[in-house]
Structure 1
C-alpha cells in the first residue's frame, strides 16, 4: 500500500469514527465497538474475567503493558458510563489501549446496574473492585503508591464518590493517589429522568446520593474534565464540585474542552481519534505529576 493510499485510508477511517460517535450519542449507546475495531490489540497482555464478587457483573479485566519496566507500574482503575443502567467493560478496549500505552496497568471494572441493583449497589461494587485491585497489585506488577481512579459519566460519579465519601472505602481511600473524572454528574438534583428517579429512589435522603455533598477535604487530588459542548452532563457539575473541594481545603482542578461533547470527550482517548483533543495527554500529566492541564479552564 502506498503512502498516499494509506493516508487516504486513514482519513476514511477517521471520517467513519467521527460519524459514528454522534450516532452513538444520539442513541444513548455506551458501546464503542466501531472505535475498538480500529484500535490495535497489541502492546499489552490482557487477563480477563477476574471476579471480585459472585455476580457475573462483579468482575474486572486487567491490562498489563508489554513494554519492559524497570520497576513497579502505576495503576488505573477505570469505570465506564451508561446512566447506571447499561455498559460493559469489553466495550472499552480503546481506554485500556490508551492507558497501557502510557505505561499504566489498567483495570476495567464492571459493576451491577439497574434493574439488577439500584443505589447504592453500584457504589458497593465500585468499592469492591477497588479493594480487589489493591489486594492483587503484586500479581500484575502494580505500584501500591501509584493507584489512580478514572471514570466517564456515571463511571466518573462512581470513581469520584469513592474517594469523597469515606463510607465506601474507609481508610483505604488513602491508598488512592488521585482521581480523574470525565463528564461526571456530581450535583444533579432535582431528578427529572424517570429511570433515575427509580435508580436513586431507594435513598432516604436524595442529597446523600450527590458526590458534592460528601466533600470533607480528605480526598486525594481530583481532575474534573468536561466538554463545553456536553448537553448530557452539564460542565457546571465539574465547576461546582471543584469549588466545593477547594473550599474545604482539598485539591481539585477543573479543565474544559471547548469543542468536545459528552461522547467525544471519552472518544478522544482512542488512538484513531486523539486528534479531537489532548485528553489522554492531560490525564497522563495529572496522574504522573499531579499537575493540571495547561489552559482550558473556562466554565
Structure 2
C-alpha cells in the first residue's frame, strides 16, 4: 500500500537529514563540480517546466551511456535544480545524466506529466544521435531512472511504450532503474490524489499493468528500503515478481534500515547519507547492461 507522503519526503527529506534549512542546497553545494560539464535548462517542450539539465563527463564519447533521471515530488512539486548530486554521482562514473523538469498538479493531471517525460526522452535521444550541449553524436545506450513519483513516471515510459512512440522516441532502452517507486498503488484514499489521477485513467497509472514480457522491455533494477514508510516496499516486491513471472530480467534489492529519502540520497558522493551498497549495486547494474567500463 502506498503511503501518500511523497511531497514532504521528496522536498523536505534531504533538509531533515542534513539538519539545515535547505538540505538539498547544502548537499549540492558540497557536490564536486570537477570532471563533468553541465548544460542548464536545455529546452525539450514549451513552458517554464519544459527544460532539462544535462551532465556530461569530460571524457564522454560516442558510446557514453545516458541516464534520464526523473525526480519525485508527489506529482505536484519538485525541481531539477535539487539533483546536481545525482548528476555528479553518475557522471563521475562515466555516465551522462539528463534531469528533466515536468509539469505537475494542479497545472496538469495524469497522464500529462508522463507525456512530458516521454518528450524529454525523445529530446535526449535526438541529442544522443546528433550531438549537442556537450554530448558527442553517437550511439548512446539510454537508461530510464526515477525516484518515488519519478519512478512511476519512468516505469510507465519503460513498460508502456506508447508514450515514447507518441513523442517520437524510437530507441530501444538499455535499462530501467526504480528507486522506492510506486508501481501498484491503488486504491487511492486521499482526495488530492484522486484529483491527480482521474477515475477514467486511474487503472492506466499503474506501471505493473504494462509488464507483459514483450521483447522490447528493458532489464530492471528495483531498489527500496525496508524502513520506507512513505512508499511501501511491497510496490517493489510486486513489480519485481511481475517482471519475473513474464520472463523478464529484474534485479530486486531491499535494504534494511534504509528509508524513502535514503533510496536517492545514497547516490550522493559528498556526504555519507543512506547506504553505500545501493550506489555500488546500481553502478554494477548500469555497467553490465550498458557495456560501460567503470573508471
Stretches of 4+ aligned residues off by more than 4 angstroms: 171-174
Equivalent residue for 1:23? 16
Q: Which has the larger radius of gyration?
A: 1
- Structure 1: which 5+ runs fail to align? 1-18, 292-299
CA RMSD of aligned residues (A): 2.4
Q: Deviations over 1:54-88 (max 9, x none)?
A: 1110111111112x356531111100000000100
TM-score after normalising by structure 1: 0.83
Find out whether 1:200 has 2:186 as its counterpart.
no
| Structure 1 position 165 matched with structure 2 position 165 | no
The count of corresponding residues between Structure 1 and Structure 2 is 269
Residue equivalent to 2:179: 182
Name the CA shift for 1:108/1:22 in 2 (closer, same or farther; >3 Å): closer
How far off is 1:290 after superposition? 3.4
> C-alpha distance in 1, partners of 2:255/2:34?
29
Instruction: List runs of 5+ in structure 2 lacking aligned partners.
Output: 1-11, 291-295
- TM-score scaled by length of structure 2: 0.84
Deviation string, structure 1 residues 103-155 (Cα, Å, up to 9, x no partner): 11110111000111100010000000000000111221265351111110011
CA distance in 1: counterparts of 2:48 and 2:63, whole angstroms: 30
Give the secondary structure class of the aligned counterpart of 1:175. coil
- Compare relative contact order (CA 8 Å, sep 6+) and give the higher one, 1 or 2: 2
More helix by share: 1
Matches within 5 A, 1:30-179: 32-66=24-58, 68-69=59-60, 72-137=63-128, 138-139=131-132, 140-141=135-136, 144-170=139-165, 172=169, 174-179=171-176
Kindly tell me: are residues 164 and 70 of structure 1, through their superposed partners in 2, closer, same or farther at Cα, counting changes over 3 Å?
A: closer
**Aligned residue number for residue 288 of structure 2:** 289
Deviations 1:164-211 (A, max 9, x none): 11211139465210011000000001111222111002x414221111
